[in-house]
A and B are shown apart, each in its own frame.
Chain A
């Protein structure tokens, strides 16, 4: 690599780099290394030169590089490098312009088509993966066929001819399968998935193209795909598109299985709603509930002996709480869709790496706040790539170790103690403690003679400096990017843990608190202020007696609960609340817990247990230590939601929940 960077005058140098990559690809370089090499190429380009625009395009292409698109991506990069000016302005052969013109003719209808079309394609993708494991299921087949038909029809109505043609071709293939003229094999699944990818790309880029931007050149992909479908239709089952025979056994063994094998309810129809409108509705419902409770507690009404009035108030209360329950449920979505995406990833990677993998999903119906789901996809993909690249051994190695050839990858989700837990486990080789140690020493993370427990060494993979990639755009690859995973999880106020056993596999556990959703909270009073502490963080509460409280340097510092000394944090003092009860013996102590550490909060009194909606304090406040957000309480005022982890950090103390008494 050059130090001054590649610029327009030595475009040949970029070409030479690309040639080297091409040669390596032909020699069987794994696709993640191809991706890294392309990133290197992009990075080598001088950002001030006339080649700068293509540097970004290359890194975008590299990021999108998948197991089965290596050749396509390389040829696209080559087109850019060879003729950067042309590539930047117009692709060599622009895709049929009729689509863009047709879309631009009626943008409103077009936007609707895009949204619906992408939904249909997502349905097709997840259904076809199920169909692969149960090829005789007529219902599943129909579930794949129908959305294709709809996409084709809608594209036709709008005049999006090139999209219509692809959808039509695939529909024809599926129709032949439906009528029993054709068998549904791996090649058919493959071509349908490729078709879904292509259509997704074409549809997604429509709005940008209509706005005058240059999209991806799909001419060749489209022609190839149509050819493969045609040959499939004419000749019956044929080998897969780009990867011949070798990959087939992996697919046969790779499947998605779900213990319950449940299927989506057919009658479940949905409506798309702008999230801002939804949030506004939820806010208003919250206010309605508050208005109702203020009304119900009005002294005049409380004193009233009018039975009819009381009945009507009770009816109002029932309706508002039902409305609130329904509104709350609207925030939550099942994790199913995210898991389906992983199923596709596992299938592709399984074929590419020639490692037969069976993916076992459980808890797809576990509901999460939709914001959590949105932010969970990337970290999960990272981790699954890592599991398959590094955790799971090649088939011969597994056989030698006496393991089943088909590896098992488990993906499950469940609720536990107020958290959502997502577990990714493989039965692969486990983390290589010595190798991690060596790398950490090389990178200067630990001293050469550092004495560390295996667990502590394993934690090093989450360290930012451990990553071998120095760019954030890196998707995954060579044991890299786990720090990004951890950052993403922590941004959701979650935590990630590893358990690993040499030769038996690795399990990652992601624990996400419900901070973005509703939380069961204990409402506390300190002075005139009220606070909410999530009940999952509360161990117990007590009124301490004089002999339980231990002072250091004249001030109450610790409380002794069943032979354990727990540090005290006077919330009134810590938060500067003027009229807080200063005397601990007249106060209430709430023992809170976070990550197995305990802290005793001194508060004036406990008010009760409520379900509250967590609201962010907004950008204006950034991060207030010890506070996770705000909750609107029964009287319409705001109570701050306490964050046990932050309070522990604030107090600088805390005591291990496990372990012996001090």
Chain B
């Protein structure tokens, strides 16, 4: 299911932070996130998005990716940040999600690709009921900062019922 470049851990459970490998990092509402690079298909500049009615607010609509119609999700809204006007740095990261195919994800800006070793990744702590950590692969300590590594199949996989039965 997940594309993890596992190094350590023999009996690693699903959320065990053994997910060392290359991550594309990006900024969102002042926080730093990372995605397994193997999930990323391409990065495109923010473009006009066609609104689709009867879907949740964080589903921005659809775009034309060289002849293919793909849905676009706004991760800011998905994670409960305030909506924000597009800037010069706003990007759409096109990712390949299990069962849903290609999906565009709007982020504030794309940073860099980092090689993160498994030993630098911690499991997300339990914040209780009000913060869902289900879709966090782990927390990566990179120099002085912490990057939140996302399991996109889980973030967006949860969209499947929402999107598919959107009315």
Binding site for B on A (CB under 8 A): 282-284, 286-287, 529, 574-577, 615-627, 629-630, 632, 636-640
Q: Is the CB of A620 within 8 A of B67?
A: no
A618-B70 contact, Cβ under 8 Å, with A632-B64, A637-B64 = yes
Chain A residues, Cβ within 8 Å of B103: 620
Q: Does B111 contact A (CB under 8 A)?
A: no
Chain A residues, Cβ within 8 Å of B67: 282-284, 286-287, 632
A-B contact pairs, 21 of them (CB 8 A): A283-B67, A283-B68, A286-B67, A615-B69, A617-B52, A619-B164, A620-B160, A621-B71, A621-B164, A621-B166, A623-B167, A624-B52, A624-B54, A625-B167, A626-B53, A627-B53, A629-B69, A636-B64, A637-B64, A638-B62, A638-B63
**Cβ-closest chain B residue relative to A531:** B50
A624-B167 contact, Cβ under 8 Å, with A529-B50, A575-B53 = yes
Q: Is the CB of B66 within 8 A of A287?
A: yes
10 additional contacts (CB under 8 A) given A575-B51, A639-B50 = A282-B67, A575-B53, A617-B71, A619-B99, A619-B100, A619-B101, A624-B55, A625-B54, A625-B167, A632-B64
Interchain nearest-CB distance for A649 vs B (Å): 10
Q: How far is the CA of A636 from the CA of B163 in the complex (A)?
A: 24
Chain B positions 147 through 167: 1 when the CB is less than 8 Å from some CB of chain A, otherwise 0: 000000000000110011111
Interchain nearest-CB distance for A636 vs B (Å): 6
Interchain nearest-CB distance for B153 vs A (Å): 13
Q: Is the CB of A618 within 8 A of B53?
A: no
Q: Is the CB of A283 within 8 A of B51?
A: no
Chain A residues, Cβ within 8 Å of B163: 620-622
**Cβ-closest chain A residue relative to B48:** A637
Q: Is the CB of A576 within 8 A of B71?
A: no
Q: Is the CB of A577 within 8 A of B51?
A: yes
Residue with the highest number of chain B CB atoms closer than 10 Å, among A286, A627, A638: A638
**Cβ-closest chain B residue relative to A284:** B67
**Cβ-closest chain A residue relative to B163:** A620
Name the one of A576, A620, A638 contacting B64, with C-beta atoms under 8 angstroms.
A638
Chain A residues, Cβ within 8 Å of B55: 621, 624
Q: Is the CB of A617 within 8 A of B62?
A: yes
Binding site for A on B (CB under 8 A): 48, 50-55, 62-64, 66-71, 99-101, 103, 159-160, 163-167
Q: How far is the CA of A626 from the CA of B101 in the complex (A)?
A: 24
**Cβ-closest chain B residue relative to A526:** B51
Q: Is the CB of A284 within 8 A of B101?
A: no
Q: Is the CB of A529 within 8 A of B66?
A: no
Chain B residues, Cβ within 8 Å of A574: 53
Q: Is the CB of B66 within 8 A of A624?
A: no
Name the one of A286, A620, A623, A639 contacting B101, with C-beta atoms under 8 angstroms.
A620
Q: Is the CB of A529 within 8 A of B71?
A: no
A616-B165 contact, Cβ under 8 Å, with A627-B53, A630-B62 = no
**Cβ-closest chain B residue relative to A578:** B51
Interchain nearest-CB distance for A643 vs B (Å): 12
**Cβ-closest chain B residue relative to A626:** B53
Chain B residues, Cβ within 8 Å of A575: 51, 53-54
A620-B164 contact, Cβ under 8 Å, with A283-B66, A632-B64, A637-B64 = yes
Residue with the highest number of chain A CB atoms closer than 10 Å, among B53, B63, B164, B167: B53
**Cβ-closest chain A residue relative to B67:** A283
Interchain nearest-CB distance for A3 vs B (Å): 38
Q: How far is the CA of A184 from the CA of B52 in the complex (A)?
A: 62
Q: Is the CB of B50 within 8 A of A620?
A: no
Chain A residues, Cβ within 8 Å of B64: 632, 636-638
**Cβ-closest chain B residue relative to A629:** B69
Q: How far is the CA of A576 from the CA of B61 in the complex (A)?
A: 13
**Cβ-closest chain B residue relative to A635:** B48
Q: Is the CB of B51 within 8 A of A617?
A: no
Q: Is the CB of A637 within 8 A of B50?
A: yes
Q: Top 3 nearest A-B pairs by Cβ distance?
A: A283-B67, A622-B164, A575-B53
Q: How far is the CA of A619 from the CA of B163 in the complex (A)?
A: 9
Residue with the highest number of chain A CB atoms closer than 10 Å, among B53, B62, B67: B67
Chain A residues, Cβ within 8 Å of B63: 638
Chain B residues, Cβ within 8 Å of A283: 66-68
Chain A residues, Cβ within 8 Å of B166: 621-622, 624
Chain B residues, Cβ within 8 Å of A619: 99-101, 164
Q: Is the CB of A627 within 8 A of B52?
A: yes
Q: How far is the CA of A157 from the CA of B49 in the complex (A)?
A: 57
Q: Is the CB of B54 within 8 A of A640?
A: no
Interchain nearest-CB distance for A644 vs B (Å): 15
Chain B residues, Cβ within 8 Å of A576: 51, 53
Chain A residues, Cβ within 8 Å of B165: 622
Interchain nearest-CB distance for B5 vs A (Å): 27
Q: How far is the CA of A638 from the CA of B60 in the complex (A)?
A: 13
Interchain nearest-CB distance for A656 vs B (Å): 25
Q: How far is the CA of A627 from the CA of B166 in the complex (A)?
A: 12
